[in-house]
Amino acid sequence: MITASNRAAAGVYPDRSGPVVADRLRAMGCSVLGPWVVPDGPPVGEALVRASDERVDAVLTTGGTGLTPQDRTPEETRALLSFEIPGVAEALRSAGREKGVPTAILSRGLAGVVERDGHRMIVVNLPGSRGGVSDGMDVLEQVLGHAIDQLGGGDHPRVNETGE
């Protein structure tokens, strides 16, 4: 769990979005490291490498996905990705838009897989707002466990002939 916020990292105000994500992950039964609060830019990439070194299954980032010159989370993430999972990023933007937030489509957040030193880790960039991360978690709660299972070699769940 990484929060990219220049002001929160500088102590101007507390991290408001990271705790929302951490609480939602814990409610899903996940162990959570962080949130690690870092300035946007290269510190995000450094935190992602640290998470990979700690062998975590998934990292959710908040913040740094907008259009300002300081918003560099997608660039730092993309530099580490072996491949993207575009449907996740699209679903996150769509969920915000469907909840009446037209600016959700401006998020440049990515989702993908980092492969380093024999370890594979899912990374998902969420927006920095509390509402945006809550909407994002509504999406991720439905697929994150399955994605992590597949990342480790798990197969798709089998459906019997009656569709159950």
Residue with tokens 């705790």: 19
Is residue 66 over pLDDT 70? yes
94-114 burial string, b = 16+ CB within 10 Å, else e? ebbeeeebeebeebbbbbbbb
CA distance 164 to 67: 44
Is residue 73 over pLDDT 90? yes
Q: What domains can be seen in the chain, in order of their start residue?
A: 1-150 (3.40.980.10)
Q: State the average pLDDT for the chain.
A: 94
Q: How high is the pLDDT of residue 56?
A: 96
pTM score over 0.85: yes
Is residue 116 over pLDDT 80? yes
Express each pLDDT in 127-162 by its tens digit. 999 999 999 999 999 999 999 999 988 776 655 555
